[in-house]
Amino acid sequence: MNSFVDAAAILLLLVVALGLPGLGLPCPGTGPPVGGAALAVVPAACWIAVVTPALVRSDLARRRLPNALTLPAVGLAVAGAAGAAVSGGGGRDPALAAGVVAVTLFVGVLGARRAGVGLGDVKLGAALAGSAALVGPEALAVFSVGTGLCGLAAAVVALRRAGSRGTRTTIAYGPCLLSGYWAALTAAGVASWLPSGGGT
């Protein structure tokens, strides 16, 4: 049953990843789509789609996000930014994407040493933030807000479960990062299909 659910989830997420603006898909009422995400984000988004079920399951069960799943995502996000910068297109702001990856890794490593943030969360967060930034600043904003709200809800639930026992509790933040990411890509895809306000 798990393999069927995983396959269905992967297929749905691949549809979201490949439905981003700029891939040459027709957008009703708007003519050809604008180049926002284009091809620069597709390799990272497709990899993330394939590994999302495994990442969620691993983080919920063991509070671990394996390097074998997160490091390729980081590499693909950086490669997408570099490719977009070299080709002069394919991403709205490849410098923003590369900067987001670098800053997230730097701040995340500091946070991991001081605040108990897992390095798996840092690597996954860098990959997802960089990939979302390639779609555009709006997608990065949706990713940030969605991840934050999901994390806050998870923390509240964890604290309530801990209750009066006084035990230390942890949350699986990977699913929150992934929820924010897929919300951002879904919003970008939906926005690309809406008629523009300019009219013809």
For 100-148, write each residue's pLDDT tens digit: 888 787 777 766 666 667 889 999 999 999 999 888 889 999 999 999 9
Half-sphere CA count of 24, side-chain side, radius 13 A: 2
pLDDT of residue 91: 54
The torsion of the CA quartet 114, 116, 121, 123, rounded to 10 degrees, works out to 30
**Count, residues in the chain:** 200
pLDDT tens string 6-41: 899 999 898 888 876 555 444 433 333 334 445 788
Task: State residue 90's pLDDT score.
Answer: 52
200 assigned to some structural domain: no
Q: How does the average pLDDT of the chain come out, rounded?
A: 81
Helix then strand then coil, % of the chain, to nearest 5: 75, 0, 25
pLDDT single digits (tens) 30-69: 333 334 445 788 899 999 999 999 999 999 999 999 999 9
Distance from C-alpha of 36 to C-alpha of 21, rounded to nearest angstrom: 6
Domains in the chain, number: 1
Report yes or no on whether pTM surpasses 0.85: no
Q: Is residue 152 domain-resident? A: yes
In a domain, 198, yes or no: no
The domain in which residue 96 lies consists of: 2-193
